[in-house]
Amino acid sequence: MHDDRNLVEGRLRRVLDERVRPAVYPESVPLDVAVWHAPGEPVPVEEGLAATPEPIAVGARWGAPWGTSWFRVTGTVPEKWAGRTVEALLDLGFDGNMPGFQCEGLVHLPDGTPVKGLNPRNQWVRIGAPVAGGEEVRLHVEAASNPVILEHHPFSFLPTPLGDKDTAGTEPQYTLTRMDLAVFDETVWHLVLDLEVLGELMAELPADAPRRWEILRAVDRALDALDLQDVNATAATARDRLAEVLAAPAAASAHRIGAVGHAHIDSAWLWPLRETVRKVARTAANMTALLADEPDFVFAMSQAQQWAWVRDHRPAVWARVKKAVADGRFVPAGGMWVESDTNMPGSEAMARQFVHGKRFFLDEFGIENDEAWLPDTFGFAAGLPQIIRAAGSKYLLTQKISWSQTNSFPHHTFRWEGIDGTRVFTHFPPVDTYNCEMTGAEIAHAARNFKDKGVARHSLAPTGWGDGGGGTTREMVAKAARLRDLEGSARVAWQTPHAFFEQAEAENPEPPVWVGELYLELHRATLTSQAQTKQGNRRSEHLLREAELWAATAAVRTGFRYPYEDLDRIWKTVLLHQFHDILPGSSIAWVHREARATYARIAAELEEIIGAAQRALAGEGDLPLVFNSAPHARAGVPAGAAAPPVAEGRTELTPRTGGGHVLDNGLLRVEIDGRGLVVSALDLAGDRETIAPGLAGNLLQLHPDLPNKWDAWDVDAFYRNTGTDLTAADEVAPGADAASVRVTRSFGSSRVTQVLTLPPGERRLEVDTEVDWHETEKFLKLAFPLDVHAERYAAETQFGHVHRPTHTNTSWEAARFEACNHRFVHVQEVGWGVAVVNDSTYGHDVTRTVRTGGDGGDGGDGGTTTTVRVSLLRAPRFPDPETDQGVHRFRHALVPGAGIGDAVREGWRLNLPERRVTGGAEVAPLVSVDREAVVVTAVKLADDGSGDVVVRCHEAHGGRARATLTAGFAVAGVTVTDLLERPLAGQEAAVEADGDRIAVRLRPFQLMTLRLRRA
């Protein structure tokens, strides 16, 4: 037989496009349309419905950027359509390639009842099936003219002012394209899907596979049966000729795909938070409507914050959601407040993501999630498995690691082991998308790509339009029905996340294990972009610690009113802003402008709570007190206490031979040369130089920074090929006090002022940097070349630290050229190390070189230089063309002679500066611990209002620890709990209580939550 595949496949494409798809709606009549443009921000539904619209015609331009327009569409169903299915086709000017990324609408009935959302792949509204004829149609569309920020075909990362309503202008963005009533021919619609499924499957089968040829011949016969001049009359016959190949069952060994309806909705990204509130409502309205029509369909939605938005802003949609949840088909997923970044949030913040997320679903529905659902998060910190388990969950889903540019992850189903040894069952969907459309290419890719063949055969496919929302379409559901049991394809069945994970774990109870962080080899620049957003997050996390600590202490000691509601609300706001496009700095200008204002408001509220609690504790008097919020003693003040400060010596400032200055406090001797660079930092007790020979620390380095794409997200390795050392100083002079030196520099259009301080009695050089930043597409680093031979270094993460190699032996190590730390990076030889600590930066790199030997003629000593570089600022122009322009302030410290415990302590100290208050008496700690390795991360009152004191601690040095926790109040009982403050079974032996003294034993990096009942 001749090979006529190309001929038949070409025929199929043309007939589908030109004849069959248009025949889905064979008859139509125009609707009358009028519009009212809301002046400013979106208005309540009642106001939009009551407004007086003006006539508008199809073809007219509408919609200023970020505007809201209320369209009223009216018409009459023709009498001759009686007995047929009729739909309204409402095309606001959609681009079918961009669902979720442009204009959208929510359709309401005249009484305000929401019907469904409109988007580029969902433009229909059912009027009747069948209609009687003569019905009056009246619909109201709340349409959002969200501008296109990211052009998807092809991707375009050009700077645009459209990312902020303050700069976007008023030019209409869309053209009203179609507003019709139309007859819906369901038989033709099914024919379209029959042909699509078979055509897509055929294209994925080998050319010599008999099944491919069977499908080809069936398609050819079906097309022969179609009268191209009367598709509607002949569609049923064409379908009959496809029935046999559609009924052929899949092989017994076929891969099995659990499909779950999905609409990954970014809580903010290329749209502001307020628009996400509406995106979620549109999607939820669509999904509840689809659930009513499709009995097998299951939809899962994560992010408790988004559920709360529906509840609080769209009660009519919420009522439908609640009913669908009760039916078990609209499924809360993930158990987190938002799908957050997991690299940068601190220990407590990461824990509270689960506390607030899981508690919301428990309170609203009595449902407890057992999976973490993070399909789009940019890599996963090694402390996360323990947090997931401590929250009462046991599974993790993500898809994003498939985006890695260099190395292909070796598993799709595995156990992920964190820094403390905790393991969670983890799945990466091999379909490699969280926006699956149920295409043949996607399903075939999932089956081929699945790396666990032979030991497992199940994978998950999150199905539906996401990013900007929209969800699953009726076409996707219909395709899934055809793929339930189809020869040549994987089998597809709708499943809840819980059902999938239970099934996957049962068939593969001992999967391979991956130890350590799940590093995404992409989007590394999200650790640095939008510095003020990151600073706001870090500052908020520590202010919340202080507010809880001092409010709890004051509540127990003085009867101070513990601000439960305020702290709950503020925590949820901070958690929202840890969403994986806000904290990483990859959202539009509007989002970050609002974030800066929000963080300022939060800081003011928390400062007020802290101040009131400390005043209640200090009482009246003139005694100078230092309140120490850090988990370690300092200046003679115990952790969590207030006492008069103890003087700790002095620092001398003297001229340096050859120019510059010397700072000496008896512990460190620091030389700052005439360029303002640190050329020596001598640990006097250890008689050990910190700075590598011939090099200088506190070195600012500027690199060009234009990644190949994803500007705010990515920094590509080639940025390191070119760079400039900023060694020229405008001024190097003594600072405002005898312990500091002030350095100013100018470069490009920017200016830097640094104050280098050596505090008395401390083995720590503090570096305060102010940058007036006006560069574009540049990357600013702060470098410390250290005379340390280290093959690995430690970087703080949640509830501990992770080790990374300093070498690049393999492609896996080479790909980690930019990584995340929290408060410290630590490098060490046996017996001596150095820490670099920070108050608000996350990105860094650590590299090593070997100096030439003494016989090289250049004075080299053959030693190793380990260089720690802190990432300060970037200047990408997409999606925010003015990213980080303006003044920024950073605090860092170089800590020579530091062990890992010193790094932990100094990191906390820099982030929790002392507070000075006058009062009448010292304040004893509410809780104290007798081992520095056991760090208390939170002291608070129990969330249930019982008055119990909750203490969360962890082992921070990486070894086993026994410690005694002493309560500064009478204790009636102690319970080990999960993160939600519920008793943990089988933990009785973990603690031994004797009155107010509680002995604990912790594994390396183990976290523990204790609930202390007050007597």
Closest by CA to 995, choosing from 961, 959, 962, 971, is: 971
Rounded CA separation 191/196 (Å): 8
Residue 671 has φ and ψ, to the nearest 5°, of: -105, 125
Distance separating alpha carbons of residues 87 and 76, to the nearest angstrom: 12
DSSP three-state, residue 261: strand
Mean pLDDT in the chain? 96
DSSP state of 971: E
pLDDT at residue 934 tops 60: yes
Residue 351 CA to residue 337 CA, distance in Å, equals 10
Give 781-828 as a DSSP string: EEEEEE----SEEEEEETTEEEEEESS-SSHHHHT-SSEE-SSEEEEE
pLDDT of 109: 98
Q: Is the pLDDT of residue 258 over 90?
A: yes
Amino acid identity, position 628: N
Residue 858 has pLDDT above 70, yes or no: no
Please answer whether residues 746 and 767 qualify as being in contact, where contact means their C-beta atoms are separated by less than 8 angstroms. no
pLDDT tens track for 73-123:
999 999 999 999 999 999 999 998 889 999 999 999 999 999 999 999 999
Instruction: Give dist(CA 463, CA 260) in Å, integer.
Output: 6
Length of the chain equals 1015
Nearest Cα residue to 890 out of 752, 1012, 985: 752
pLDDT, average across residues 938-967? 98
Q: What is the mean pLDDT of residues 614-643?
A: 96
Indicate whether 762 pLDDT > 70: yes
Q: Compute, in degrees rounded to 10, the torsion defined by CA atoms 582, 584, 585, 590.
A: 0
**How far does the chain reach from its first CA to its final CA, in angstroms?**
90
Retrieve residue 1006's tokens. Answer: 């183990």
- pTM across the whole model: 0.97
Per-residue confidence band for 35, with pLDDT thresholds at 50, 70 and 90: very high
Q: Is the torsion defined by CA of 159, 165, 169, 175 positive or negative?
A: positive
Q: CA-to-CA distance for 699 and 484, rounded, in angstroms?
A: 61
Q: φ and ψ at 145, to 5 degrees?
A: -90, 60
Considering the candidates 194, 376, 880, 884, report the single residue annotated as catalytic.
Answer: 376
How do residues 136-192 score in pLDDT, each as one tens digit? Answer: 999 999 999 999 999 887 778 999 999 999 999 999 999 999 999 999 999 999 999
Do residues 924 and 964 touch, judged by C-beta distance below 8 A?
no
Q: 302, 263 in Cβ contact below 8 A?
A: no
Among 766, 740, 741, 755, CA closest to 894: 766
Alpha carbon 1001 to its chain centroid, in Å, reads: 33
Q: What pLDDT band is residue 852 in, cutting at 50, 70 and 90?
A: confident
pLDDT of residue 41: 95
For 483-588, where are the alpha helices, taking DSSP H only? Answer: 497-507, 531-558, 564-576
The letter for the amino acid at 964 is: T
What CA–CA distances, in Å, run from 632 to 60, 145, 653, 959, 1000?
A: 67, 53, 29, 18, 18
b/e map of 314-340 (b: 16 or more CB within 10 Å)? bebbbebbbebbeeebbbbbbbbbbbb
CA dihedral 469, 471, 474, 478 (to 10 degrees): 130
Q: Are 396 and 416 in contact (CB under 8 A)?
A: yes
Q: What is the spatial distance between Cα 549 and Cα 769, in angstroms, rounded to a whole number?
A: 30
Q: Are 999 and 989 in contact (CB under 8 A)?
A: no
Angle CA(420)–CA(423)–CA(425) in degrees, nearest 5?
160
Picking from 784, 894, 757, the residue whose alpha carbon sits closest to that of residue 847 is 784
Q: How does strand 413-417 pair with strand 513-515?
A: parallel
b/e burial code for range 63-75 (CB count within 10 A of at least 16 → b): bbbbbbbbbbbeb
204 contacts: CB under 8 Å, gap ≥ 6: 440, 441, 443, 444, 488
Give the pLDDT of residue 1014: 96
Q: Is 376 a catalytic residue?
A: yes
3-class DSSP state of 223: helix
Structural contact between residues 376 and 336, judged by C-beta atoms closer than 8 angstroms: no
Tokens of 303: 């992010």
Q: Please answer whether residues 434 and 264 qualify as being in contact, where contact means their C-beta atoms are separated by less than 8 angstroms.
A: yes
- What integer pLDDT is reported at residue 855 of this predicted model? 55
Calpha distance 928→925 (Å, rounded)? 6
The DSSP-derived string for 40-78 is SS---HHHHHHS--EE--TT-EE--TTEEEEEEEEEE--
Residue type present at position 355: V
Residues forming beta bridges with residue 974, ordered by sequence position:
1012
Q: Provide the token pair at 464.
A: 């539906």
Check: CB of residue 963 under 8 Å from CB of residue 992: no
3-state SS class at 568 = helix
Instruction: Answer yes or no: is pLDDT of 1 > 80.
Output: no
For tokens 């369901």, name the residue: 186
253 half-sphere exposure, CB direction, 13 A CA radius: 4
Helix and strand totals (H; E) in the chain: 19, 55
Check pLDDT > 80 for residue 925: yes
pLDDT at 854 over 60: no
3-class DSSP assignment, residue 887: strand
For 263-273, write each residue's pLDDT tens digit: 999 999 999 99
- 523 strand-pairing partners: none
Cβ neighbours for 828, distance < 8 A, ≥ 6 positions apart: 788, 790, 793, 794, 834, 899, 900
What's the 3-state SS for 591-640? Answer: HHHHHHHHHHHHHHHHHHHHHHHHHHHHCCCCEEEEEECCCCCECCECCC
Beta-carbon contacts of residue 156 (< 8 Å; ≥ 6 apart):
150
